[in-house]
Amino acid sequence: MSTTAKLLKRPATNLPCVSLIGMAGCGKTTVGLALAKALGWAFMDTDQLIESAYGTRLQDIADRLTKDEFLDMEAEMICSLRASRTVVATGGSVVYRDAGMRHLQSLGPIVRLDCPLAVVLERISHNPDRGLAIAEGQTIEDLYLERQQLYIRYADIACNATRSPSQCAEWILARLPKGITGPAEG
Protein backbone atom coordinates (compact mmCIF):
# COMPACT_ATOMS: atom_id res chain seq x y z
CA MET A 1 0.00 0.00 0.00
CA SER A 2 1.34 3.42 -0.89
CA THR A 3 2.09 6.00 1.79
CA THR A 4 -0.66 8.24 0.43
CA ALA A 5 -3.26 5.48 0.58
CA LYS A 6 -2.18 4.60 4.09
CA LEU A 7 -2.52 8.22 5.22
CA LEU A 8 -5.98 8.51 3.69
CA LYS A 9 -7.30 5.35 5.33
CA ARG A 10 -9.68 6.16 8.15
CA PRO A 11 -9.10 4.42 11.48
CA ALA A 12 -11.11 1.24 11.98
CA THR A 13 -12.37 2.58 15.30
CA ASN A 14 -13.04 6.13 16.38
CA LEU A 15 -10.15 7.55 18.33
CA PRO A 16 -11.00 9.82 21.25
CA CYS A 17 -11.59 13.53 21.14
CA VAL A 18 -11.36 16.09 23.94
CA SER A 19 -14.27 18.51 24.27
CA LEU A 20 -14.06 21.87 26.03
CA ILE A 21 -17.07 23.39 27.78
CA GLY A 22 -17.52 26.62 29.74
CA MET A 23 -18.91 30.12 29.62
CA ALA A 24 -18.41 32.47 26.72
CA GLY A 25 -15.10 34.21 27.26
CA CYS A 26 -13.48 31.42 29.27
CA GLY A 27 -11.08 30.59 26.43
CA LYS A 28 -12.47 27.46 24.79
CA THR A 29 -11.23 28.47 21.34
CA THR A 30 -7.80 29.79 22.37
CA VAL A 31 -7.13 26.98 24.84
CA GLY A 32 -8.52 24.47 22.33
CA LEU A 33 -6.12 25.64 19.64
CA ALA A 34 -3.19 25.40 22.07
CA LEU A 35 -4.27 21.94 23.25
CA ALA A 36 -4.75 20.67 19.68
CA LYS A 37 -1.28 21.91 18.79
CA ALA A 38 0.24 20.23 21.86
CA LEU A 39 -1.51 16.95 21.03
CA GLY A 40 -0.86 17.15 17.28
CA TRP A 41 -4.62 16.82 16.75
CA ALA A 42 -7.22 18.65 14.68
CA PHE A 43 -9.25 21.50 16.16
CA MET A 44 -12.97 22.13 15.71
CA ASP A 45 -15.03 25.07 17.00
CA THR A 46 -18.74 24.23 16.99
CA ASP A 47 -19.74 27.91 16.91
CA GLN A 48 -17.79 28.25 13.66
CA LEU A 49 -19.42 25.08 12.30
CA ILE A 50 -22.85 26.58 12.98
CA GLU A 51 -21.84 29.85 11.31
CA SER A 52 -20.55 27.92 8.31
CA ALA A 53 -23.70 25.79 8.04
CA TYR A 54 -26.00 28.82 8.18
CA GLY A 55 -23.77 31.30 6.34
CA THR A 56 -24.04 34.05 8.93
CA ARG A 57 -22.67 35.18 12.29
CA LEU A 58 -23.67 33.23 15.39
CA GLN A 59 -25.22 36.33 16.96
CA ASP A 60 -27.44 36.80 13.89
CA ILE A 61 -28.60 33.20 14.25
CA ALA A 62 -29.23 33.62 17.99
CA ASP A 63 -31.18 36.83 17.29
CA ARG A 64 -33.46 35.11 14.74
CA LEU A 65 -34.29 32.07 16.86
CA THR A 66 -35.89 31.68 20.25
CA LYS A 67 -33.52 30.43 22.92
CA ASP A 68 -35.03 26.93 22.74
CA GLU A 69 -34.81 26.86 18.94
CA PHE A 70 -31.16 27.89 19.12
CA LEU A 71 -30.39 25.24 21.76
CA ASP A 72 -32.14 22.53 19.73
CA MET A 73 -30.24 23.52 16.57
CA GLU A 74 -26.94 23.55 18.49
CA ALA A 75 -27.63 20.10 19.97
CA GLU A 76 -28.50 18.74 16.54
CA MET A 77 -25.18 20.06 15.21
CA ILE A 78 -23.30 18.53 18.17
CA CYS A 79 -25.02 15.15 17.73
CA SER A 80 -23.96 15.10 14.07
CA LEU A 81 -20.25 15.44 14.89
CA ARG A 82 -18.05 12.58 13.70
CA ALA A 83 -14.45 13.14 14.68
CA SER A 84 -11.33 11.40 15.92
CA ARG A 85 -8.28 12.90 17.61
CA THR A 86 -9.88 16.34 17.61
CA VAL A 87 -10.13 19.03 20.26
CA VAL A 88 -13.71 20.31 20.15
CA ALA A 89 -14.45 23.81 21.45
CA THR A 90 -18.19 24.03 22.09
CA GLY A 91 -20.58 26.91 22.48
CA GLY A 92 -21.22 27.88 26.09
CA SER A 93 -24.86 26.84 25.84
CA VAL A 94 -24.15 23.26 24.76
CA VAL A 95 -24.81 22.00 28.32
CA TYR A 96 -28.53 22.79 28.08
CA ARG A 97 -29.25 19.74 25.92
CA ASP A 98 -28.50 16.33 27.39
CA ALA A 99 -28.45 14.59 24.00
CA GLY A 100 -25.61 16.81 22.80
CA MET A 101 -23.66 16.30 26.00
CA ARG A 102 -24.11 12.52 25.86
CA HIS A 103 -22.70 12.59 22.32
CA LEU A 104 -19.69 14.62 23.45
CA GLN A 105 -19.16 12.13 26.30
CA SER A 106 -19.17 9.31 23.74
CA LEU A 107 -16.34 11.07 21.86
CA GLY A 108 -14.01 11.32 24.87
CA PRO A 109 -13.27 13.34 27.99
CA ILE A 110 -14.94 16.68 28.61
CA VAL A 111 -12.91 19.51 30.11
CA ARG A 112 -14.60 22.43 31.87
CA LEU A 113 -12.75 25.72 31.54
CA ASP A 114 -13.58 27.70 34.64
CA CYS A 115 -13.25 31.46 35.10
CA PRO A 116 -14.67 33.77 37.75
CA LEU A 117 -17.63 35.87 36.61
CA ALA A 118 -15.53 39.06 36.66
CA VAL A 119 -13.05 37.52 34.19
CA VAL A 120 -15.87 36.31 31.93
CA LEU A 121 -17.46 39.79 31.92
CA GLU A 122 -14.12 41.43 31.13
CA ARG A 123 -13.36 39.04 28.27
CA ILE A 124 -16.87 39.25 26.81
CA SER A 125 -16.67 43.05 26.81
CA HIS A 126 -13.87 42.78 24.22
CA ASN A 127 -16.16 40.91 21.80
CA PRO A 128 -19.69 42.32 22.00
CA ASP A 129 -20.74 40.54 18.78
CA ARG A 130 -20.20 37.06 20.21
CA GLY A 131 -23.30 34.88 19.89
CA LEU A 132 -25.02 34.21 23.19
CA ALA A 133 -28.09 32.04 23.75
CA ILE A 134 -29.72 34.33 26.28
CA ALA A 135 -33.38 34.83 27.09
CA GLU A 136 -34.91 38.29 27.01
CA GLY A 137 -34.27 39.99 30.35
CA GLN A 138 -31.46 37.61 31.31
CA THR A 139 -28.02 38.95 32.20
CA ILE A 140 -24.59 37.39 31.72
CA GLU A 141 -24.50 36.91 35.50
CA ASP A 142 -27.82 35.03 35.34
CA LEU A 143 -26.40 32.77 32.62
CA TYR A 144 -23.18 32.23 34.55
CA LEU A 145 -25.03 31.17 37.70
CA GLU A 146 -27.54 29.05 35.77
CA ARG A 147 -24.86 27.12 33.86
CA GLN A 148 -22.31 26.41 36.59
CA GLN A 149 -23.97 23.24 37.90
CA LEU A 150 -24.42 21.95 34.35
CA TYR A 151 -20.74 22.50 33.55
CA ILE A 152 -19.78 20.72 36.76
CA ARG A 153 -22.17 17.81 36.08
CA TYR A 154 -20.79 17.04 32.62
CA ALA A 155 -17.06 17.71 33.10
CA ASP A 156 -14.51 14.97 33.63
CA ILE A 157 -11.73 17.51 34.25
CA ALA A 158 -11.93 21.12 35.48
CA CYS A 159 -9.25 23.64 34.54
CA ASN A 160 -8.75 27.11 35.99
CA ALA A 161 -8.80 29.13 32.77
CA THR A 162 -7.40 32.34 34.22
CA ARG A 163 -3.98 31.04 33.12
CA SER A 164 -2.60 31.58 29.63
CA PRO A 165 -3.93 29.29 26.88
CA SER A 166 -0.60 27.42 26.68
CA GLN A 167 -0.52 26.94 30.47
CA CYS A 168 -4.09 25.61 30.38
CA ALA A 169 -3.21 23.26 27.53
CA GLU A 170 -0.20 21.89 29.43
CA TRP A 171 -2.30 21.48 32.59
CA ILE A 172 -5.06 19.63 30.71
CA LEU A 173 -2.58 17.46 28.81
CA ALA A 174 -1.09 16.25 32.10
CA ARG A 175 -4.56 15.20 33.32
CA LEU A 176 -6.00 13.45 30.29
CA PRO A 177 -6.62 9.72 30.72
CA LYS A 178 -3.60 7.53 30.07
CA GLY A 179 -3.38 6.31 26.49
CA ILE A 180 -5.62 8.98 24.99
CA THR A 181 -2.71 10.83 23.43
CA GLY A 182 -1.08 7.78 21.84
CA PRO A 183 -0.34 7.55 18.11
CA ALA A 184 -3.09 6.79 15.63
CA GLU A 185 -3.10 3.26 14.33
CA GLY A 186 -3.27 2.96 10.64
- Residue 2: inside a domain: no
Q: Which amino acid is at 164?
A: S
Q: For residue range 1-18, what is the model confidence (pLDDT) as tens digits?
A: 555 555 555 555 567 999
Q: How does DSSP assign 124-184, residue by residue?
A: HHT-TTS-----TT--HHHHHHHHHHHHHHH-SEEEETTS-HHHHHHHHHHHSPTTTTSPP
**Residues 139/102/158/166 CA torsion (nearest 10 deg):** -90
- Residue 51: inside a domain: yes
pLDDT at 151 over 90: yes
Q: Which amino acid is at 85?
A: R
Mean pLDDT of 129-145: 80
Mean pLDDT of the chain: 89
Q: For residue range 54-69, what is the model confidence (pLDDT) as tens digits?
A: 999 988 998 899 989 9
Given a contact cutoff of 8 angstroms between Cβ atoms, the answer to whether 71 and 143 are in contact is no
pLDDT at 185 over 60: no
- What percent of the chain shows pLDDT beyond 90? 69
Range(s) of the domain holding residue 163: 24-174
pLDDT at 186 over 50: no
- Residue 6: inside a domain: no
Q: What is the CATH number of the domain that holds 74?
A: 3.40.50.300
- Residue 52: inside a domain: yes
- Total residue length of the chain: 186
Beta carbons within 8 Å of 174's beta carbon, 6+ residues apart: none
- Count of domains forming the chain: 1
- Residue that wins the pLDDT comparison between 40 and 127: 40
- Residue 1: inside a domain: no
- Residue 19: inside a domain: no
